[in-house]
A and B are shown apart, each in its own frame.
Chain A
Amino acid sequence: MPCSSLLDLSRRACIRNIDGITDVGDLPYHLLRPILLKVENPEQLREIETASPQICGHDAELWRAFMKRDIPNWEKKPHEPRNPNSWGKVYRKLLREDEEEQRQSEEALRAALNIRKEEKEKNQATIIHKAIDPEKRKARPAAKSSSTALLSFGGGSRTKTNTAQGVLDRARRETQETRNARNSALTMPTHLLNVKASQVRQAPRGMVVGYNRPAPPKIVGSSISRPAPIFISRPVVTDRDRALNAAIRSEREEKERRLKALTGLSNTGAQKPLAPPRVPGARGIASLPGIAAAGSPTSRTASPAPAPAPQQRKRPGYDPFMAVKRRKV
Chain B
Amino acid sequence: MAETTDYVTLISNDGFEFVVQRSSACIAEAIKRMLDPRNNFSEAQTNTCKFENISGVVLEKVCEYLYYHEKFRDQKDVPDMDIPPELCLELLMAADYLNV
Kindly supply a per-residue 1/0 record for chain A positions 1-45, scoring 1 wherever the CB is within 8 Å of any chain B CB and 0 otherwise.
Answer: 111111101111110110011001101100100000000000000
Question: Per-residue 0/1 for B58-91: is the Cβ within 8 Å of any A Cβ (1 yes, 0 no)?
Answer: 0000100100110011111110110101001111
* Bound-state Cα–Cα, A4 to B75, Å: 12
A11 touches B92 (CB 8 A): yes
User: Which residues on B sit within 8 Å (CB–CB) of A1?
Assistant: 69, 73
Query: Chain B: how many interface residues by the 8 Å CB criterion?
Result: 26
**Residue on B nearest A1 in the bound complex, by CB:** B73
A15 and chain B: residue at smallest CB distance: B88
- A2 partner residues in chain B, CB cutoff 8 A: 72-78
B30-72 Cβ-contact flags toward A at 8 Å (1 or 0): 0000000000000000000000000000000010010011001
Least CB distance from A11 to B in Å reads: 6
A10 engages B88 (CB within 8 Å):
yes
Q: Is the CB of B6 closer than 8 A to any CB of chain A?
A: no
B20 in the interface (beta carbon within 8 A)? no
Give, as a whole number of angstroms, the nearest-CB distance from B29 to chain A: 10
The one of B68, B72, B92, B100 that contacts A27, using a Cβ cutoff of 8 Å: B92
Which residues on the A side are within 8 Å of B19 (C-beta)?
none
Known: A3-B68, A6-B62. A24 touches B100 (CB 8 A): no
Q: When the two chains form the complex, which single residue of A6, A17, A21 contacts B100, counting CB atoms closer than 8 Å?
A: A6
**A3 in contact with B78 (CB, 8 Å):** yes
Tell whether B2 is near chain A: CB-to-CB under 8 Å: no
The answer to whether B92 and A31 touch across the interface, beta carbons within 8 angstroms, is yes
* B96 with A3: CB separation less than 8 A: no
Q: What residues on A are CB-neighbors of B72 within 8 Å? A: 2-3
Cβ-closest chain A residue relative to B71? A3
Q: From B82, which residue of chain A is reached at the shortest CB distance?
A: A13
| A27, B69: Cβ atoms closer than 8 Å | no
Per the bound structure, the CA–CA distance linking A194 and B22 in Å amounts to 133
Is B92 in contact with A10, judged by CB distance below 8 angstroms?
yes
Given contacts A1-B69, A3-B68, A9-B65, contact A17 B85 (CB under 8 A): yes
Decide if B80 touches A12 in the complex (CB within 8 Å).
yes
Q: Is the CB of A13 within 8 A of B91?
A: yes
Smallest Cβ distance from A87 to chain B, in angstroms? 23
Q: Tell me the bound Cα distance from A21 to B80 in angstroms.
A: 21
**Beta-carbon contact of B95 and A5 below 8 Å:** yes
* B74 lies within 8 A of A7 (CB): no
**A and B contact pairs by CB, cutoff 8 A, 13 listed:** A1-B73, A2-B76, A2-B78, A3-B75, A3-B78, A6-B65, A6-B94, A7-B95, A7-B100, A10-B89, A14-B89, A17-B85, A31-B92
- A-to-B contact residues, CB < 8 Å: 1-7, 9-14, 16-17, 20-21, 24-25, 27-28, 31
Question: Beyond A9-B65, A9-B91: 17 further Cβ-contacts under 8 Å?
Answer: A1-B73, A2-B73, A2-B74, A2-B75, A2-B78, A3-B69, A5-B95, A6-B94, A9-B80, A10-B83, A10-B88, A12-B80, A14-B89, A20-B85, A21-B89, A27-B96, A31-B96
